[in-house]
A and B are shown apart, each in its own frame.
Chain A
Amino acid sequence: MLELTEITKSFRTGPAETVVLRDLSLRLEAGELCSIMGGSGSGKSTLMNIIGLLDRPSSGSYRIAGEDVLAAPPDKQSALRNRLIGFVFQSFFLLPRLNAWRNAALPLMYRGTPEAEARRRACAMLERVGLADRMEHMPAQLSGGQKQRVAIARALVGQPKVLLADEPTGALDPKVAQEIMDLFLEVNREFGVLALIITHDPDIAAQCPRQLRLGGGRIAEDIRRA
């Protein structure tokens, strides 16, 4: 499904050049649930940005379902992001001035889905993540766990093939974190979406069938639970 080959990513800061990812190769199959651990600054977010088409590697190739996506023009990449990929961030990144269902419906709006249809699907997804009674709430009126549920609904509303989560439980207390992790496990099973979860929490990582560890700019460890 996702195929990264010999990806190198370096940043130029002033005169020095920092190599964050070095000849990293990785294959992820459709429907997998996979955690990524690694020290702070090891390049987890950088890798996720590349997978999510938000950033380009310095060299290497990246194919989604066999298609070379690095060659696509920017607007094609926007469209691919919109159709194939859903993002969940540590600090939720909901738009503060849109209510829950409008936040969740945003990817559909950018697809040109009519508002009524977008609303219906966003509400269905909010119901699925357990927010049936919070449709009209503004982000400021929601708890951290609820905000993350809206963000997950937003990531899933467009029926993406890939769900990318960058420390989705990092800002939540352990009990809520586990609830969110349960939700990831459920939606992975239910929608067959490939979920990639960056985390610092070994307990969270341990619940994923496949566990990656980033180190030295590469995949240092790749464990599949039997």
Chain B
Amino acid sequence: MIKQALLEAIGNLLAARQRSALALIGIMVGAGAVIAMLTVGAIAREQTARQFRAMGTDILLLRADSDTGLGQLPLAETEALVGQVPGLASIAPFMLSGGPVSAEGQARSTTFLAATETLAAVARVRVAEGRFLSRHDRFEPFAVIGPQLAENLSTPYSRIRTGSSIRVGRYVFTVIGVLEPSLPSPMMPADLNDVLIVSIPNGRRIMSQASLAWAVARSTPEADPEAVGRAVAASLQPLMREQRLSVQSARALLAGLASQMRLFTLLLGAVGAIALVLGGVGVMNIMLVSVQERRREIGVRLAIGATRWNIQSLFLTEAAVLSFIGGAFGILLGVAGAWGFAQFSGWPFVLSMSAIPLGAGVSIATGLFFGFYPAVIASRLDPIVALRTE
């Protein structure tokens, strides 16, 4: 009986090919939208999670602001906080600016970051070749560059590597290290792939506005990062008069991002749901036409002993087959769309395990829901009236 029902449903759908195709496309787009949305959501979530895993959740970002722009952190006092503030493991103040750099005639614009040698440990940057800045060569014209900048300045004839010279305005720096590629961190105001890192005295030379406005810090594993952040701010604030000090913790950022992400996924899901409802209405429309066209067939079936339920399941099976096939294509479409998004954004593609069963379930449920009304209409037909229609 089930086999016969499926065969009949497929036969009937094939007989009304154009109509079936329309309904199929509706469901397919709907299911595809739901899947794509959910998968894109999962990709975005995974990407943020990776970023936070890479930088750790014990990281803090400090920023000083004055009324006229960026503020100034007192260098010595800030570094001295380690040991004074309980739970503070390390802190690295830095300056941030940007401008053109050149090497062997290649000119690029990049981010300038001036920091102490502690930055490497606090921001977890690793050197791929050469070494990082050290306490002893603060006044030497040394620079550490990000891998992207190294590549940007390289030509087929000369690769920028340790020992290369880079010109910044009037100054020429020797590259002493190139960083490993890293994920852009939401807690760092600069992308460490495309950066020129110099010592603080050198930074004051090359930056037009040399403000030691930033610092990254880490709390000890057992401390609450936000409490440590508050303690750091409380210790520094008296030294900074009118300036405002803002402290951002990875944990707070993570919480904010998580709720943003939820909203985003919800929104995407809603878009998908609307598409699916439109597909469902398409199915209903098409099924109603089909019921109208097949009145006599329904009459015959009733005459030879079909129950109301038999007639209902005849049409429900068609709706289910339609939405199953539509859902299957929709899953392919949705996953392909999400994969395209991953390629486009450069984020790693992850398939949310819930997306496929959810998409399939949702599309079949939609098909059945919207197929139900036509099926009931069909099963309520009066056999005599149905048989009399020519």
> Looking across the interface, which residue of chain B has its beta carbon closest to that of A105?
B4
Instruction: Say yes or no: B4 contacts A81, CB within 8 Å.
Output: no
> Looking across the interface, which residue of chain B has its beta carbon closest to that of A79?
B305
- A107 to B15: give the CA distance in the assembly, Å: 23
Name A's interface SS. helix
A84–chain B nearest beta-carbon distance, Å: 9
A54 within 8 A of B: yes
B301 within 8 A of A: yes
Query: In the complex, which of the residues B12, B15, B307 contacts A78, with contact meaning CB atoms closer than 8 Å?
Result: B307
Instruction: Say yes or no: A82 contacts B304, CB within 8 Å.
Output: yes
Residues of B within 8 A of A52 (CB): 303
A51–chain B nearest beta-carbon distance, Å: 12
Given A97-B8, A97-B12, residue A74 in contact with residue B308 (CB < 8 A) = yes
Instruction: Say yes or no: A54 contacts B303, CB within 8 Å.
Output: yes
B277 within 8 A of A: no
Please encode chain A, from 76 to 96, with 1 for each CB lying within 8 Å of some chain B CB and 0 for all others.
001101110011010001010
A168–chain B nearest beta-carbon distance, Å: 14
Instruction: Say yes or no: B11 contacts A97, CB within 8 Å.
Output: yes
A29 within 8 A of B: no
Residues of A within 8 A of B291 (CB): none
- A106 to B8: give the CA distance in the assembly, Å: 12
Instruction: Say yes or no: A109 contacts B303, CB within 8 Å.
Output: no
B383 within 8 A of A: yes
Residues of B within 8 A of A95 (CB): 297, 300-301
Residues of A within 8 A of B227 (CB): none
- A111 to B384: give the CA distance in the assembly, Å: 22
Instruction: Say yes or no: B305 contacts A93, CB within 8 Å.
Output: no
Please encode chain A, from 103 to 138, with 1 for each CB lying within 8 Å of some chain B CB and 0 for all others.
000110111100100000000000000000000000
Residues of A within 8 A of B308 (CB): 74-75, 78
> Looking across the interface, which residue of chain A has its beta carbon closest to that of B12?
A97
> Looking across the interface, which residue of chain A has its beta carbon closest to that of B300?
A93
A58–chain B nearest beta-carbon distance, Å: 14
B111–chain A nearest beta-carbon distance, Å: 70
Given A49-B384, A97-B15, A110-B310, residue A154 in contact with residue B4 (CB < 8 A) = no
A98 within 8 A of B: yes
- A153 to B310: give the CA distance in the assembly, Å: 22
Residues of B within 8 A of A106 (CB): 301, 304
Residues of B within 8 A of A221 (CB): none
A55 within 8 A of B: yes
Query: In the complex, which of the residues B296, B309, B384 contacts A93, with contact meaning CB atoms closer than 8 Å?
Result: B296
B147–chain A nearest beta-carbon distance, Å: 66
Instruction: Give the contacts of B1-56 with A (CB-CB under 8 A).
Output: 1, 3-4, 8, 11-12, 15
Residues of A within 8 A of B12 (CB): 97
Query: In the complex, which of the residues B1, B8, B304 contacts A98, with contact meaning CB atoms closer than 8 Å?
Result: B8
Query: In the complex, which of the residues A74, A86, A102, A109 contacts B1, with contact meaning CB atoms closer than 8 Å?
Result: A109
Instruction: Say yes or no: B306 contacts A110, CB within 8 Å.
Output: yes
Residues of B within 8 A of A86 (CB): 304
Query: In the complex, which of the residues A74, A75, A81, A115 contacts B304, with contact meaning CB atoms closer than 8 Å?
Result: A81
Instruction: Say yes or no: A54 contacts B307, CB within 8 Å.
Output: no
Instruction: Say yes or no: A83 contacts B305, CB within 8 Å.
Output: yes
Query: In the complex, which of the residues B4, B310, B383 contacts A54, with contact meaning CB atoms closer than 8 Å?
Result: B383
Instruction: Say yes or no: B4 contacts A109, CB within 8 Å.
Output: yes
Instruction: Say yes or no: A54 contacts B305, CB within 8 Å.
Output: no
B368–chain A nearest beta-carbon distance, Å: 22
B325 within 8 A of A: no
A182–chain B nearest beta-carbon distance, Å: 24
Given A97-B8, A109-B4, residue A78 in contact with residue B306 (CB < 8 A) = yes
Add 17 more A-B contacts to A49-B384, A81-B304, A83-B305 (CB < 8 A). A52-B303, A54-B384, A54-B387, A74-B307, A75-B307, A78-B302, A78-B305, A78-B307, A79-B307, A82-B304, A89-B300, A93-B387, A97-B12, A107-B304, A110-B301, A115-B1, A115-B3
CB<8 Å pairs between A and B, sample of 11:
A55-B384, A75-B308, A78-B305, A78-B307, A79-B307, A93-B299, A93-B387, A98-B8, A106-B304, A110-B307, A111-B305
